[in-house]
């Protein structure tokens, strides 16, 4: 058997989005591209902002000698200074380039953080519904994830969180705004979580890191201000990317930022730089680092996603779906009208609408719809969504 049993099993568990992608291809072949409405993928259809292309052209016209060579594993100094400057502006906490490591996207950043912090058998606490890769990332480094269920608004159940933290807990991983719910954690939620973290640190005599996976940080609506974790816990680390805020998922560019006052900071940074190198990333892509240096305050048109959120939310609730109104990112996580979310997603497929069952995010009974798509795709899905729910009412 060429593939290990463990990986075969993981592939089975983590295959929902890919499965939908493949079924989409087959349905499109059968019914024509324009007659299949694929709301299963979080791959933004919008292009990066104009500033990105101007910068790309300017670099191509004026190449910097040596710019494609190896560099320090933490990344280019000027890029880390730019990221630190932006974070200082946003948080009013003084970050320096030393607090930043450039990474291969948020996925790369999370692997570096987990590898640095965990010994075999250690745990990260995560919150359902979650980005499915978390379990696999933890396993990459001999650890595992412990899942905390949500309340009815997809916020952490604090009692269950308290029970989930053990002496083996090295980190608590949050994702806000959230994939798949679009829910944003308020300062109050962060404060409650961190109070429990500190209570548990005291009880067990351990150090617990709050890690925030925030590739959707800039995609928030309703004029909300982003509540940063750095205000709530000194042992805090952000793992993020420009995959969504600059629409650059294919360029694999992101970063890690550690709280400037984190105890043992230098030891952790040295560990993370080592892991960035030895996981084989070596350093984040050089060209992408040059490009994002001057784009730290630039974001895609968030209003566009907000309009799509408003449109889809109002249509779904009119149809009778129960949906928590997303405050950011570009996903919605409606309740399926039957308990079996996989069966309901199959029903949607019969209507040529592709969605991902909540089971794929550790929360059965719901399904995820993406709206980082063309208006025609979202509009085209509406009759199928309506017909599917009407069969159960
Ligand atoms: C919650 C979450 N975390 C991490 C990632 C990975 O992002 P990146 O493409 O920057 O690795 C994604 C991508 O969709 C995501 O939704």
**The ligand 1 atom nearest the CA atom of 178:** 1
Q: What is the pLDDT of residue 17?
A: 75
Which residue is closest in CA terms to ligand 1's atom 7? 106
The C-alpha atoms of residue 41 and residue 33 are separated, in whole angstroms, by: 15
Structurally, the chain folds into a number of domains equal to 2
Query: Looking at the structure, do residues 10 and 159 belong to the same domain, yes or no?
Result: no
Q: What is the pLDDT of residue 44?
A: 86
The C-alpha atoms of residue 86 and residue 296 are separated, in whole angstroms, by: 6
Range of the domain at 138: 51-293
**pLDDT tens, position by position, 361-372:** 999 999 999 999
H helix intervals, 210-330: 265-278, 286-293, 302-319
**pLDDT tens, position by position, 69-101:** 999 999 999 999 999 999 999 999 999 999 999
Whether pLDDT at 337 is above 90: yes
The domain that holds 351 is classified in CATH as: 3.90.1150.10
Q: Give the distance (Å) from ligand 1 centre to CA of residue 49.
A: 19
Contact yes or no for 366/333 (Cβ under 8 A): yes
Query: Looking at the structure, do residues 282 and 304 belong to the same domain, yes or no?
Result: no
Whether pLDDT at 14 is above 80: no
Domain boundary among 244, 278, 293: 293
Query: Looking at the structure, do residues 261 and 322 belong to the same domain, yes or no?
Result: no
Query: Looking at the structure, do residues 323 and 252 belong to the same domain, yes or no?
Result: no
**pLDDT tens, position by position, 212-244:** 999 999 999 999 999 999 999 999 999 999 999
Contact yes or no for 168/121 (Cβ under 8 A): yes
Q: Give the distance (Å) from ligand 1 centre to CA of residue 390.
A: 34
Query: Looking at the structure, do residues 165 and 262 belong to the same domain, yes or no?
Result: yes
Domain boundary among 272, 293, 314: 293
**The ligand 1 atom nearest the CA atom of 240:** 10
Contact yes or no for 393/344 (Cβ under 8 A): no
Query: Looking at the structure, do residues 44 and 55 belong to the same domain, yes or no?
Result: no
Residue 366's beta-bridge partner residues? 335
Confidence class of residue 184 from pLDDT cuts 50, 70 and 90? very high
Q: Give the distance (Å) from ligand 1 centre to CA of residue 251.
A: 13
Whether pLDDT at 353 is above 90: yes
Give the mean model confidence (pLDDT) for residues 287-315. 97
Query: Looking at the structure, do residues 244 and 330 belong to the same domain, yes or no?
Result: no
158's tokens: 């604090």
Q: What is the pLDDT of residue 20?
A: 81
Query: Looking at the structure, do residues 177 and 108 belong to the same domain, yes or no?
Result: yes
Give the mean model confidence (pLDDT) for residues 285-311. 97
Query: Looking at the structure, do residues 318 and 358 belong to the same domain, yes or no?
Result: yes
Query: Looking at the structure, do residues 205 and 326 belong to the same domain, yes or no?
Result: no
Per the rule left: phi > 0, alpha: psi between -120 and 50, beta: everything else, 252 is left
Q: What is the pLDDT of residue 51?
A: 98
Domain boundary among 293, 322, 340: 293
Confidence class of residue 9 from pLDDT cuts 50, 70 and 90? confident
Query: Looking at the structure, do residues 105 and 233 belong to the same domain, yes or no?
Result: yes
Mutate to test the pocket of ligand 1, among 126, 243, 326 (most ligand atoms within 8 A of CB): 243
Whether pLDDT at 13 is above 90: no
- Higher confidence at residue 48 or residue 17? 48
Q: What is the pLDDT of residue 158?
A: 97
Q: What is the pLDDT of residue 3?
A: 92
Q: Give the distance (Å) from ligand 1 centre to CA of residue 107.
A: 6
Q: What is the pLDDT of residue 69?
A: 95
Q: What is the pTM of this model?
A: 0.96
Confidence class of residue 114 from pLDDT cuts 50, 70 and 90? very high
Rg (CA), the chain: 21
**The ligand 1 atom nearest the CA atom of 110:** 4
The domain that holds 155 is classified in CATH as: 3.40.640.10
Whether pLDDT at 166 is above 90: yes
């Amino acid at each position: 058997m060429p593939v290990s049993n463990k990986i075969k099993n993981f592939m089975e568990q983590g295959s929902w989005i890919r499965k939908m992608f493949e079924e989409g291809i087959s349905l499109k072949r059968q019914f024509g591209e324009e007659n299949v409405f694929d709301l299963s993928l979080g791959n933004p259809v919008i292009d990066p902002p104009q500033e990105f292309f101007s910068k790309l052209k300017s670099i191509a016209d004026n190449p910097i000698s040596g710019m494609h060579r190896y560099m320090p594993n933490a990344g280019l100094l000027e890029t880390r200074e730019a990221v630190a400057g932006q974070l200082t502006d946003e948080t009013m906490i003084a970050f320096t380039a030393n607090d930043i490591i450039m990474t291969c996207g948020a996925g790369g950043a999370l692997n570096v953080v987990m590898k640095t912090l965990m010994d075999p058998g250690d745990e990260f606490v995560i919150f359902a519904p979650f980005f499915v890769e978390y379990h696999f990332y933890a396993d990459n480094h001999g650890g595992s994830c412990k899942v905390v269920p949500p309340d009815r608004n997809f916020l952490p159940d604090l009692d269950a969180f308290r029970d989930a933290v053990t002496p083996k807990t090295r980190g608590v991983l949050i994702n806000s705004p959230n994939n798949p719910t679009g829910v944003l954690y308020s300062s109050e939620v962060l404060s409650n979580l961190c109070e429990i973290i500190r209570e548990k640190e005291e009880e067990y005599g351990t150090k617990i890191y709050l890690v925030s996976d925030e590739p959707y940080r800039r995609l928030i609506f309703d004029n909300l201000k982003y509540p940063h974790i750095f205000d709530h816990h000194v042992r805090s680390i952000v793992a993020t990317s420009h995959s969504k805020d600059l629409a650059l998922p294919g360029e694999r560019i992101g970063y890690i930022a550690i709280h400037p006052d984190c105890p043992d900071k230098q030891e952790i940074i040295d560990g993370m730089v080592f892991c960035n190198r030895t996981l084989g990333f070596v350093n984040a892509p050089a060209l992408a680092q040059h490009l994002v240096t001057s784009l730290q305050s630039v974001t895609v048109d968030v209003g566009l996603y907000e309009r799509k959120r408003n449109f889809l939310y109002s249509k779904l609730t009119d149809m009778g779906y129960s949906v928590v109104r997303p405050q950011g990112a570009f996903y919605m996580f409606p309740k399926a009208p039957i308990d079996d979310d996989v069966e309901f997603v199959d029903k949607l497929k019969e209507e040529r609408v592709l969605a991902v069952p909540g089971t794929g995010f550790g929360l059965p009974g719901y399904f995820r719809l993406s709206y980082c798509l063309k208006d025609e795709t979202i509009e085209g899905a509406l009759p199928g969504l309506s017909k599917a729910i009407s069969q159960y009412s």
